[in-house]
Structure 1
Amino acid sequence: METTHRTHICRLSNHSQVKEAFDTHAWSASTLWNVANYHAQQVWDDTGENPDEAALKHELKDHPKYDGLHSQSSQNVLEELSEADSSWYGSDDDRDNPPGYRKRNYYDADGNRVHEEHPRITVTWKQSAIRHDTENARLRLSKGANHKSSPRAREYILAEYDAPPEVTLGNIQQVRAVWQSREERWELHVVCEHDLDTESPGDTIAGVDLGICNPATVAFPEDAVVYPGNRLREDKHYFTDDEYQTEGGNGPSQRAEWAREKLARRKTHFLHALAKDIIERCVSHNVGTLVIGDPSGVDESDWGRHGNKRLDNWAYKRTMNLLDYKSRERGIEVEQRDERGTSSQCSVCGFEDDDSRIERGLWKCGRCGVVGHGDVNGADNSRQETLTVTPPLRG
């Protein structure tokens, strides 16, 4: 049986009792990150190469900071750093920076460091460090050895949670403690594995074109839907401006952090709502296969200052992931195809012309004369890639 992972956000009902424990573990996670990052930079300076995930774990498994978390939680920190290093190393964009240190230093008038703070970063517990008391809605999360009364003591953080309505936590894969700075409290993100037992809605094929101005355009055999991205752009402009206007001299102010988190939450909500609506429409159209045009590679080019700014706000990979798992939950098969060529080819007669876009979204075929929305044409070409089509006669 096919399965899927879902993340459920739970409120801590005993927050005052566990806050200090989560704070200390977040501090340990950030210090381990910093130690590993320093080591990775030393290796980079000496060899010109980044140590991979296995090398980081081998080098740091005996470091005192490694014992600030459960072993698998420490491994997760190193995995995240390795992924961030690999992403930076593999980037062709000169604007990208290597992973930074997760701390903030404060200095006196003479330049002497008098204080340092570590951000409350997310701490992840994996299966072997989690015990679930379903009857009392409690999660027992193993402490790091440095935070126990003795290294081998069986001590844990006892987190009492309130799950969302109509959600029963089971088959837990991960628990993440996430700090919400606006509310000044921790919350739990619980990742559960769920079985999928759904039949395909039908045999129809739909195509999806992902874009910047229009985050998604869906083509069905008889009609199409265009999803504009005005709200995403407005939110990006408003909350980014609010963040910069309130940035503090010693780092982000509370208002700046709120603006950053608010923007992230609104963007996440938009993308989830977008994917949900697309899949609901697919079900109503008896869609059994959803073909998504994959624009990977477009973000590796330099599109100029304005173009790069818009590209930075384009979350096409998140959209693809959301469509993938929401489709599988409804029994819809997903295929990801290279989108190159879908915007220049006519979805009616197959004629290819790079100059078919007249202005903005308007598209006109230079041979058959059909006029339509450019993104709809691209989505329909993606849809037809899985169909057996007889090529049009050349006149």
Structure 2
Amino acid sequence: MLEVHRTYQATIRNHSQVVESLDQHGWSASKLWNVANYHSRSVWEETGEIPDHEELKDELKTHPNYKGLHSQSSQRVLEELAEAFNSWYGSDDERDNPPGYRKENYYDDEGRRVHEEHPRSTVTWKQNGIRHDTKNNRVRLSKGANHKEHPRAREYILVEYETRPGVTVENLQQVRAVYDQSKERWELHLVCKDEIETPDAPGNETAGIDLGISNFAAVAYSTEDADLYPGNRLKQDGYYFPKEIANCDDSSGDRATRLHHKWSERRTHLFHSLAKHIVEKCIERGVGRINIGDLEGVRENENGNSKNWGKHGNLDLHGWAFDRFTSILEYKAKVKGIEVVEVSERDTSKTCCVCGREDESQRVERGLYVCEDCDAAYNADVNGAENIRL
């Protein structure tokens, strides 16, 4: 049996009845994030180390804002913050900043702060905070103690949901309440555990995938066929959205948040569509294994320093979410019985896939690879994909 987790997006049928409670919890999540963020920055300045989520929990579990959410929901906020700090600390891009505060300040004419507002952060309920009514498509979400009439009372938010036709929500593991800025309403993301029979592989053939920027993916098959998937849309988005976000007055304000959300949604949709199409093509060709280039360290040069490819090149390189795409492809392939293996890309771009001659000069111009020994001529990315496949 193969265990998979599926996330279903659901609309809230009784939105007018639950919006106030969801707003309160979304604001509470932002306030806890800010408290934990301040604490993390203070520890960082004093010790040079970033506290992990366990340290944050031990330090903040008695803080009043911790009780604004169910205990597991508060823990998830701290986990997300710790993950964000670790991602920033491990980044090789000097333009990256540590996680910001989730609030917007308002000032009077003399520059004094007179008001602050918090965005509605995503709130995650884990199993202990959920009761699922499968017959009536309802979930009971435990309230934080600060939002109960009595801290020990058993109070909850009863949310009626509706998914797309054909979806059965079973084995519910998590519920995420997500505020859609463009629609100005909440929605639910329902995370379910599913066990499926491990399918047989479609065949014994192997495909190779070379990930890149101009062509996001080149796929080579043992049938001597190949597919190219241009990266134009990703590049265009990678130029447009950072520029628009930089023009926002407040980097954590509503407009910047909407732009980040839209950019993320567009990229995720593209990755899912692309991965699905590649897996379908592999099934048609009897592929049981996909070799994909292991791009760990692609952003560093041989000295371990961040590569500098110029203004636009850096936007492409550092926004290159190959790890995210590889994870999506691996998941979609696994449920179809196809194994995904990351293999080294070393010398694949300068080696002829026909005769094996290795020479960087054989890539005579961008996009074209010509071998001086055997006269083979290939799209350069396809040549790399074929070497990864072999």
Q: Determine if the TM-score, normalized by the shorter chain, exceeds 0.5.
A: yes
Structure 2 distance, partners of 1:317, 1:257, is 23
Aligned-residue offset at 1:140: 0.9
Equivalent pair of 1:182/1:254 in contact (CA under 8 Å):
no
What's the counterpart of residue 307 of structure 2? 302
Tell me the SS of whatever aligns to 2:315. helix
Q: Is the 8 A contact 1:295 1:340 kept in 2?
A: no
**Aligned residue type for 1:287:** V
- Please give the secondary structure, in 2, of the residue aligned with 1:358: coil
What SS does the aligned partner of 1:114 have? Answer: strand
| Secondary structure of residue in 1 paired with 2:341 | strand
Alpha carbons 1:53, 1:82 under 8 Å: kept = yes
Partner Cα separation in structure 2 for residue 260 and residue 119 of structure 1: 14
Instruction: Tell whether the 8 Å contact from 1:9 to 1:190 is kept in structure 2 after alignment.
Output: yes
Distance 2:250 2:331 in 1: 41
CA displacement at 1:14 relative to structure 2? 0.8
Who is 1:233 aligned against? 235
Show structure 2 runs of 5+ residues with no match.
Answer: 301-305
Shift of 1:244: 5.9
Would you say 1:350 and 2:356 are equivalent positions? yes
- Report the Cα distance in structure 2 between the residues aligned to 1:219 and 1:34, rounded to whole angstroms: 48
- Pairing of 1:128-277 with structure 2 (within 5 A): 128-197=128-197, 198-222=199-223, 223-238=225-240, 247=248, 249=249, 258-277=258-277
Number of equivalent positions: 382
2:207·2:290 contact (CA, 8 Å) conserved in 1?
A: yes
Q: Tell whether 2:377 aligns with 1:371.
A: yes
Structure 1 portions without partners, runs of 5+: 385-395
SS in 1 for 2:207: strand
CA change 1:257–1:87 in 2 (3 A) is closer
Q: Deviations over 1:43-90 (max 9, x none)?
A: 111111111222111111111111111111111111111111112222
> Percent identity, aligned pairs only?
57
**Would you say 1:361 and 2:367 are equivalent positions?**
yes
Q: Which moved more, 1:216-225 or 1:258-267?
A: 258-267
RMSD: 1.9
SS of the aligned residue for 2:73 comes to helix
- What TM-score results when the alignment is normalised by the length of structure 1? 0.91
- Offset at residue 236 of structure 1 (A): 4.2
Query: CA 1:37 to 1:188, structure 2 compared with 1: closer, same or farther past 3 Å?
Result: same
Residues 208 and 219 in structure 2, CA contact (< 8 A), matched pair in contact too: yes
Structure 2 distance, partners of 1:364, 1:173, is 53
Task: Report deviation, 1:291.
Answer: 1.1
**Separation (CA, whole Å) in 2 of partners of 1:260 and 1:38:** 23
CA contact (8 A) 1:353 1:366 kept: no
The answer on whether the counterparts of 1:210 and 1:217 sit within 8 Å (CA) in structure 2 is yes
- Distance change (3 Å), C-alpha of 1:335 and 1:176: same
Check conservation: 1:279, 1:327, Cα contact below 8 A. yes
- Give the C-alpha shift of residue 253 in structure 1: 7.6
Measure, in 2, the Cα distance between the counterparts of 1:356 and 1:12: 58
Distance 1:114 1:81 in 2: 27
**1 CA distance for matches of 2:348 and 2:144?**
52
Quote the offset at 1:369 in angstroms.
Answer: 2.6
> Counterpart in 2 of 1:17?
17
* 2:239–2:315 Cα contact (<8 Å) kept: no
| Structure 1 equivalent of residue 30 of structure 2 | 30
CA distance in 2 between counterparts of 1:137 and 1:103 reads: 34
8 Å Cα contact 2:5/2:191 also seen in 1:
yes
**Letter matched to residue 208 of structure 1:** I
